[in-house]
Each structure stands twice: as structure tokens, then as C-alpha cells.
Amino acid sequence: MKKIALFTAIALLLGVSFAVAQDEIKLKYFETPDYGYALMLPENFELVEGTKVDAGTTWQHQKGSAALGGFTRGLAGGLQPADSISVNWMWFPDVSPNTLYKANWKSVQDDINSPHPKYTDLKALKIEGGRAFWYKEVDKEDPDDIHRWHIYAVGNKSVYGVILASGAFKNFESMIPIYEEVVKSFKLIPLKVSK
């Protein structure tokens, strides 16, 4: 009887592992010379409906829901925040990239050292074409609060802010391996300057 129970438990574990492997999210390459960056995106994330790639670009996804401008209407009918990846670009031709990098690093570090920090895990990030760091929001007490990771990058006489967010902190854990790959893939490419 114990052998049958053990065999059943092993078979269930293998079945769950196989199902998880089938649901694995693949990444797709995206680049925009117009704004000078590239990254890998989860293949199930799409541009927010009615938008295009520009200085502020957001891709969203939530399984089983339809995107509605930053929120989704779940199958049960209520509005829920969607998982998203956003990239914001700003032109800064007259400020040294090192000055921008150091000032923003210090700002995040000062927050982490404060009595009530909003951020944690500040780390330098090696990227092609510039300098960057990433940091995380502190864990949320309310599991329905949105949780975010941030990348701050300088290069191409520009500043890039990347935000990776899950609609709810309780869902963020399942996105961690995917978001880690997105963070590692972010790079700057030559910026196409119009004449």
C-alpha cells in the first residue's frame, strides 16, 4: 500500500512538472532604434491597445483577461491591474551620463537607508551601450498591491526608466524568473537621430 501511495505521489509530481514546463513563457526579442534600446519580452505581452512604440511604451498581459488602459477586466468581471513592462525614454544631451547615473543611484540609496524605505536590492547592472542599475520595491503587506522592479539606464545622451510590474504582489513571485531574464536582456543600441 505504501509503495502505491509513493508511486502515486511521484506520478503526480511528474505530471505537475510536465504541466508547468508546457506553460513556460518564451521570450521574444524587441528593439527600437528610434529610442535606442532593446530587450527580451515575454511573448504573451502585447502593446497596450491603441498605442505605439514611442517615448513611453507599455506592454501588458494577464491570462484570461482583456486589457483596458492599464487594467484588465477579469473573467469574473472586476477590474484588475495587468502585469506590465514599461520603458520611458528622455533626451538629456547636455548632462553627463555619469552625473545622471551617480545622482539617481544616490537618490535610491538614500531611500533604502531611510527609516521607511520604498526600495531595496540596489544593484549595478551591466548593459551594452551604457550604464545601468536596478532595484526593487520593498515587499508589500497587501497581496493585492502592485509590485515593481525598476531599471535606470543612461546612454545615447538619454535616460531610460524601465518598470516591470505585476498586477498584484501575490502574483509577482510567478513572474520573477521571467522578469530576471528581461532585466538581464536590457541593452542600449545606437539611437537613430533624425536630421
The one-letter amino acid at 94? D
Give mean pLDDT, residues 111-124: 98
Domain extent listing, the chain: 26-188
* CATH code of domain 26-188: 3.40.1000.10
3-state SS track over 44-97: CCEECCCCCCCCEEEEEECCCCEEECCEEECCCCCEEECEEEEEEEEECCCCCH
Angle at 100 between CA 42 and CA 158, to 5 degrees: 55
User: Rounded CA gap, 63 and 73, in Å?
Assistant: 11
Going by pLDDT thresholds of 50, 70 and 90, the confidence category of residue 77 is very low
The yes-or-no verdict on residue 14 having pLDDT over 60 is: no
Please state, rounded to an integer, the average pLDDT across all residues of the chain: 83
Give mean pLDDT, residues 98-117: 98
Parallel/antiparallel/unpaired status of strands 66-68 and 56-61: unpaired
- Tell me the C-alpha to C-alpha distance, in Å, between residue 166 and each of 14, 65, 146: 28, 14, 6
- What is the model's pLDDT at position 63? 54
Q: What pTM, to 2 d.p., does this model score?
A: 0.79
The yes-or-no verdict on residue 1 having pLDDT over 60 is: no
Q: What percent of the chain has pLDDT over 90?
A: 64
The yes-or-no verdict on residue 21 having pLDDT over 90 is: no
The yes-or-no verdict on residue 53 having pLDDT over 90 is: yes
The yes-or-no verdict on residue 54 having pLDDT over 70 is: yes
Give mean pLDDT, residues 71-96: 74
Residues across the chain: 195
Torsion, Cα of 64, 66, 72, 78 (10° steps) = -70
Chain-centre distance of CA 148, in angstroms? 7
Per residue in 149-175, pLDDT tens? 999 999 999 999 999 998 888 888 889
The 187-188 sheet, strands edge to edge: 27-32, 37-42, 187-188
DSSP H or E segment with residue 189: none
Going by pLDDT thresholds of 50, 70 and 90, the confidence category of residue 81 is low
